[in-house]
């Protein structure tokens, strides 16, 4: 993951392939990167400039009638580092071009209207990067594990989600779905740290313990989610997340790869540049 | 504006006082700061850490039932640097806590529903920082200068805006209104630069020339806007903007002052910390 590597080379190990077992993912590993934390942040910062320029091109594209946009979906167990990815990776680009949205428990109205209703409303507009901290995938995760719907009902969501994402992708959205893979041991440390620090108490929710006790059920739910919804137009990336710096570095590379693939130039002028220059200096 | 100065000391020259003339503001000056560009950015970066922490406190407050929030309104002539303030100042804090919104020409529906309708819908939720790139103030600026409404109608907007902002402030919103004061000479350079650089063409709008030719009319409109709508609960700040670094530095200090004034601590735990620690390590 030196600065001359192509991001698709360095990120390819993290792209989900059917048949793989989530249990085989080593959450503490840093495959493809030789350095440590300091070197990782240095690469991230260095690539931030390109990330920022490509985001501006996307924004410019949207401001001049283009329809392309990008949606980053973040999933993972509590404390997996979703918020940190937003702050440290997404935070490197212009906030004007970013729409962040977190999805907690749905309201009564949101439940009534179907689980994709609030998701559709939160999709990024042209030229924007949308970021979902949790998403429609909770409908096959917490809903499944906590038995909030009968099995036949949540099972139907896989196809519904694939149809929905195919439609969203066809409308010009590059979809990047990232699952941050955390180990139970690292989660214990992070939850303990939240309890130890009064400035972190607001991030702690006793309900997190409930989910922690269902770890194996969540692993099974994630496994099936990955197998059923990693499609060509909306692939999943599974990123080892026990080391925050590594997860941030990899998500940065994945985003960079997605933006590079859009291959957007600067929009051409839709006015006569020479004439405007005359009018400007003459007026 | 050294790092030990209180931000209310360094920002006070920019707080609008009735009776002042906008024509007397020197857009190229850097009052209160001895250093140059490099020193300015160094102070901004240094204060970024506190800005970021105070923003996180505000966010935490919103996530635990608090109602406080902050609205930053940016106004100024084309190329005054509103976008740069968003990128370089607002960009220092966590994007999850920020909602940016630009206001262009209203749609037919937006016009039908009254000029404050789309503004109300874009107000930040609890714990968030909302940023308006242009705003409801266009209703007493472009609408006035281009004669889009009869005088009696746009004149009524001053009181409507004051009533609206008083209501918004009473609901827990700290309102920070910044006018970036640019000189016509500097605008000429910036517009010329946009014409010279193909990567900036998308930012150039031939309509900007139209507004430029009405400079004096805009100055009069801004003057009256400042005099009529700079209130105790929603004061205007007029910031010299010919030097981008200085405008960014000052807006950063103003935001810092506003967040400090909120005086928010970290929300206390609403659970029994010791019990959770037992459950966590025992489970």
| Terminal C-alpha separation, chain A | 52
Q: Which of A133, A195, A279 sits opposite B277 (nearest CB)?
A: A195
Mean pLDDT of A92-107: 96
Task: With a cut of 90, say whether residue A247 has pLDDT above it.
Answer: yes
Q: For residue A271, which residues of chain B lie inside 8 Å, CB to CB? A: 204, 206
Chain B contact for A98 (CB, 8 A cutoff): yes
Mean pLDDT of B3-22: 82
Chain B contact for A269 (CB, 8 A cutoff): yes
Q: Helices marked H in chain A — which ranges?
A: 7-11, 37-63, 82-88, 108-112, 117-121, 142-145, 151-170, 184-196, 207-212, 215-229, 244-262, 273-282
Closest Cα in chain A, distance from residue B201 (Å): 5
Looking at residue B282, what is its pLDDT? 81
DSSP conformation class of A53: H
Chain A contact for B277 (CB, 8 A cutoff): yes
To the nearest whole number, what is the mean pLDDT of chain A? 95
Chain B contact for A209 (CB, 8 A cutoff): yes
Q: Which of A86, A268, A271 sits opposite B96 (nearest CB)?
A: A86
Structure tokens at A253: 């590379």
Q: What percent of chain A has pLDDT over 70?
A: 97
Closest chain B CA to residue A196: B273
Mean pLDDT of B228-240: 98
Looking at residue B264, what is its pLDDT? 97
Mean pLDDT of A146-159: 98
Task: With a cut of 70, say whether residue A283 has pLDDT above it.
Answer: no
Burial (CB count within 10 angstroms: exposed 0-12, middle 13-18, buried 19+), residue B183? middle
What's the gap between Cα B46 and its chain centre?
Answer: 20
Contact check, Cβ <8 Å, B131/A95: yes
Alpha-carbon distance of A165 to B81, in angstroms, equals 37
Chain A contact for B186 (CB, 8 A cutoff): no
Closest chain B CA to residue A59: B202
Query: What secondary structure does DSSP assign to A77-101, as a single string?
Result: STTSSHHHHHHHTGGGS-GGGEEEE
Assign A282 a pLDDT band (cuts: 50, 70, 90). confident
Task: With a cut of 80, say whether residue A191 has pLDDT above it.
Answer: yes
Q: For residue A203, which residues of chain B lie inside 8 Å, CB to CB? A: 60
Contact check, Cβ <8 Å, B209/A283: yes
Q: Which of B90, B188, B201 sits opposite A280 (nearest CB)?
A: B188
Query: What secondary structure does DSSP assign to chain B, as a single string?
Result: --TTS-HHHHHGGGB--TT--GGG--TT--TT--S-HHHHHHHHHHHHHHHHHHHHHHHHHHHTT---EEEEEEEESTTSSHHHHHHHTGGGS-GGGEEEEE--SPPHHHHHT-TTHHHHHTS--TT-EEEEES-GGGGGTHHHHTT-S-HHHHHHHHHHHHHHHHHHHHTTEEEEEEEEE--HHHHHHHHHHHHH-GGGGGG--THHHHHHTTHHHHHHHHHHHHHHH--SSS-EEEEE-SSHHHHHHHHHHHHHHHHHHH---PPPPSS-HHHHHHHHHH-
Q: Which of A131, A206, A276 sits opposite B195 (nearest CB)?
A: A276
Q: Are strands B98-102 and B129-133 parallel, antiparallel or unpaired?
A: parallel
pTM assigned to the model: 0.95
User: What is the ipTM score, two decimals?
Assistant: 0.93
Among candidate residues A133, A247, A228, the one with its CA nearest the CA of residue A186? A247
Looking at residue A2, what is its pLDDT? 52
Contact check, Cβ <8 Å, A95/B91: yes
Q: Which of A87, A192, A195 sits opposite B94 (nearest CB)?
A: A87
Mean pLDDT of A224-232: 98
Looking at residue B8, what is its pLDDT? 63
Looking at residue B216, what is its pLDDT? 98
pLDDT in tens, B165-175: 999 999 999 99
Structure tokens at B97: 């806590």
Looking at residue B2, what is its pLDDT? 52
pLDDT in tens, B143-164: 999 999 999 999 999 999 999 9
Task: With a cut of 60, say whether residue B283 has pLDDT above it.
Answer: no
- Which has the higher per-residue pLDDT, A281 or A275? A275
Chain B contact for A29 (CB, 8 A cutoff): no
pLDDT in tens, A3-62: 455 666 789 999 999 999 999 999 999 999 999 999 999 999 999 999 999 999 999 999
Structure tokens at A1: 């993951």
Mutation target vs B (from A264, A276, A279, A283; most B CBs, 10 A cutoff): A276
pLDDT in tens, B114-146: 999 999 999 999 999 999 999 999 999 999 999
Q: For residue A86, which residues of chain B lie inside 8 Å, CB to CB? A: 94-96
Q: Which of A9-13, A147-151, A231-235, B219-223 has the lowest mean pLDDT?
A: A9-13
Mean pLDDT of B225-238: 98
Closest chain A CA to residue B87: A94
Looking at residue B17, what is its pLDDT? 95
Please list, in sequence order, all residues whose beta carbon lies within 8 angstroms of the beta carbon of residue B232, skipping any fewer than 6 positions away. Answer: none
Looking at residue B158, what is its pLDDT? 98
To the nearest whole number, what is the mean pLDDT of chain B? 95
Looking at residue A1, what is its pLDDT? 53
Alpha-carbon distance of B14 to B33, in angstroms, equals 13
- Which has the higher per-residue pLDDT, B209 or B5? B209
Looking at residue B20, what is its pLDDT? 96
Q: What percent of chain B has pLDDT over 70?
A: 97
Phi, psi of A177 (to 5 degrees): -110, 125
pLDDT in tens, B43-94: 999 999 999 999 999 999 999 999 999 999 999 999 999 999 999 999 999 9
């Amino acid at each position: 993951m030196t600065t001359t590597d192509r991001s698709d080379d360095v990120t390819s190990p993290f792209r989900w392939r059917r048949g793989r077992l989530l249990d085989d993912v080593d959450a503490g590993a840093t495959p493809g990167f030789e350095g440590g934390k300091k070197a990782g942040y240095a690469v991230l910062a260095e690539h931030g400039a390109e990330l920022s320029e490509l985001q501006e091109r996307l924004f410019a594209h949207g401001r001049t009638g283009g329809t392309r946009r990008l949606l980053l979906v973040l999933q993972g167990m509590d404390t997996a580092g979703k918020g940190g990815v937003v702050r440290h990776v997404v935070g490197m680009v212009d906030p004007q071009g970013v729409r962040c949205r977190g999805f907690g428990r749905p309201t009564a109205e949101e439940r009534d209207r179907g689980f994709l209703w609030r998701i559709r409303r939160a999709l990024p507009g042209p030229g924007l990067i949308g970021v979902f901290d949790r998403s429609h995938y909770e409908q096959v995760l917490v809903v499944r594990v906590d038995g909030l719907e009968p099995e036949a009902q949540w099972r139907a969501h896989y196809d519904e989600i694939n149809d929905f994402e195919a439609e969203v992708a066809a409308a010009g959205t590059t979809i990047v779905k990232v699952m941050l893979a955390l180990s139970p041991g690292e989660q214990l440390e992070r939850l303990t740290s939240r309890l130890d620090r009064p400035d972190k108490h607001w991030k702690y929710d006793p309900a997190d313990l409930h989910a922690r006790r269902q770890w194996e059920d969540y692993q099974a739910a994630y496994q099936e989610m990955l197998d059923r919804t990693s499609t060509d137009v909306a692939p999943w990336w599974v990123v080892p997340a026990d080391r925050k710096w590594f997860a941030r570095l990899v998500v940065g590379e994945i985003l960079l790869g997605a933006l590079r693939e859009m291959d957007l130039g600067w929009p051409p002028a839709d006015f006569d540049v020479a004439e405007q220059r005359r009018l400007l200096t003459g007026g």
